[in-house]
Amino acid sequence: MVKLVSYFFCFFLLWALSCSAFASIEHYQRTFIPLYTPNGELRIAIRQFFRDNKVYFLVVDPYHYTTSIVKAGQSNMKNRAKNSAVELGDFEWNVVKETPYIKDLLRFTKYPSPLQNAGLTHSVLDKKGFFLTVDMCPSVKSFEKDFFLQLITLGKSKKPPFPVAISISGLWALEHKQEFNWLLQMQRKHKLNITWVNHSFSHLYFQDLPLRENFLLFFQTNLENELLAIELLLLNKKQLPSVFIRFPGLISDKFVLETSQRLGLIPLGSDAWLAKNQVPKDGSIILVHGNGNEHAGIHDVMAYLKDPNRTWLPIAQACN
């Protein structure tokens, strides 16, 4: 049975990657290249790919944790800004490793760590506010549209759009195309401020296996493919993958953490999984499921959302 299910998911993944939606990007792979903007600002390329026979990078702003797409040649391998006191050599690791992003990347992928809920679980600095994260695991149920509409309403009343980190799995996106497209539309229309968090492509789970053998720890998992495939899906939807990853089930081990580090992904846990009756406080990373599988959490978060004294912050502000 395990072999049959594994075969099914491998077949499904290969089918998805061969669809026309993925055809415009080729040779998508990890990399690590420090770059400088024309103004002398440091960026770090963590992916490279080909589109229309041209090379592009997915780059990270290591001070603000944002990502962007840069065409090869539009950034410099050296700091050539006119106001730069010195032109750096190829790279200086002492400069790169002191950026907040690299510090957090190394800190939150460090092993040993707990089997469940490794990584960033609470704001690093004291923050007056909450961070809302919504997991979209594979599900046969309809998504929590009323919940998302409530976020949109809150954004209208307070402005700017409500900040929410959505942990997206590939199979949910493919199985719920209409709902996924609706979320994309809300992002494009600036009705929601979505940070797309990597939640793996298949989010594979076996109800009869222990946690130490389950989710991404299942022995047949091609881990790097699982994590890159969902980014590829987002890019072909003209969305930017973030530097954050939420492990399915919040489960990880040394290999998963090391792979996350090589891919430049900061693990995102939670200290307020509402369906488990965890109570949030200032700086908490709240976890709910928006895929219809855990309505209790959606019910509980509504009370916090309706509180006019609550402040909601983008997930990047939970870092240094």
Helix H, strand E, coil C: the string for the chain is CHHHHHHHHHHHHHHHHHCHHHCCCEEEEEEEEEEECCCCCEEEEEEEEEECCEEEEEEECCCCCCEEEEECCCCECCCCCCCCCCCCCCCCHHHHCCCHHHHHHHHHCCCCCCCECCCECECCCCCCCEEEEEEECCCCCCCCHHHHHHHHHHHHHHCCCEEEEEEECHHHHHHCHHHHHHHHHHHHCCCEEEEEEECCCCCCCCCCCCHHHCHHHCCCCCHHHHHHHHHHHHHHCCCCEEEEECCHHHECCHHHHHHHHHCCCEEECCCEEHHHCCCCCCCEEEEEECCCCCHHHHHHHHHHHCCCCCCECCHHHHCC
Show which of 98, 133, 159 is a domain's final residue.
Answer: 98
- 2: how many CB neighbours lie within 10 A of its CB? 12
Arithmetic mean of pLDDT, 228-240: 97
- List the CATH number of the domain containing 246: 3.20.20.370
Arithmetic mean of pLDDT, 234-262: 98
pLDDT band for 19, please (50, 70, 90 cuts). Answer: very low
Does the pLDDT value for residue 187 go beyond 70?
A: yes
| 53 & 139 share domain | no
Does the pLDDT value for residue 22 go beyond 80?
A: no
Distance CA 135, CA 176 (A): 14
Show which of 66, 98, 130 is a domain's final residue.
Answer: 98
| 52 & 132 share domain | no
- Selected residue with higher pLDDT from 110 and 76: 110
| 123 & 47 share domain | no
Q: Is residue 7 assigned to a domain?
A: no
- 72: how many CB neighbours lie within 10 A of its CB? 14
Q: Is residue 11 assigned to a domain?
A: no
| 47 & 150 share domain | no
pLDDT band for 78, please (50, 70, 90 cuts). Answer: low
| 28 & 133 share domain | no
pLDDT one-digit tens code per residue, 249-304: 999 999 999 999 999 999 999 999 999 999 999 999 999 999 999 999 999 999 99
| 122 & 46 share domain | no
Q: Is residue 104 assigned to a domain?
A: no
| 134 & 276 share domain | yes
Residue 84, pLDDT score = 55
Residue 155, pLDDT score = 93
Arithmetic mean of pLDDT, 53-82: 87
Does the pLDDT value for residue 40 go beyond 90?
A: no
Q: Is residue 5 assigned to a domain?
A: no
Q: Domain containing 90: what range? A: 24-98
Taking Cα atoms as reference points, which of 8, 291, 13, 294 lies closest to residue 139? Answer: 291
| 93 & 143 share domain | no
Taking Cα atoms as reference points, which of 222, 241, 239 lies closest to residue 231? Answer: 241
Show which of 98, 133, 158 is a domain's final residue.
Answer: 98
Residue 117's alpha-carbon distances to 5, 47, 78, 295, in angstroms, are 26, 26, 39, 21
Residue 241, pLDDT score = 98
| 224 & 288 share domain | yes
pLDDT band for 7, please (50, 70, 90 cuts). Answer: very low
- What is the chain's mean pLDDT, rounded? 91
Taking Cα atoms as reference points, which of 90, 97, 105 lies closest to residue 262? Answer: 105
Q: Is residue 227 assigned to a domain?
A: yes
How many domains are contained in the chain? 2
Does the pLDDT value for residue 1 go beyond 70?
A: no
Q: Is residue 202 assigned to a domain?
A: yes
| 185 & 273 share domain | yes
Residue 88, pLDDT score = 46
Q: Is residue 234 assigned to a domain?
A: yes
| 87 & 134 share domain | no
Q: Is residue 239 assigned to a domain?
A: yes
| 188 & 85 share domain | no
Q: In DSSP terms, which residues pair with 70 in a beta bridge?
A: 57
Arithmetic mean of pLDDT, 164-177: 98
Does the pLDDT value for residue 75 go beyond 70?
A: yes
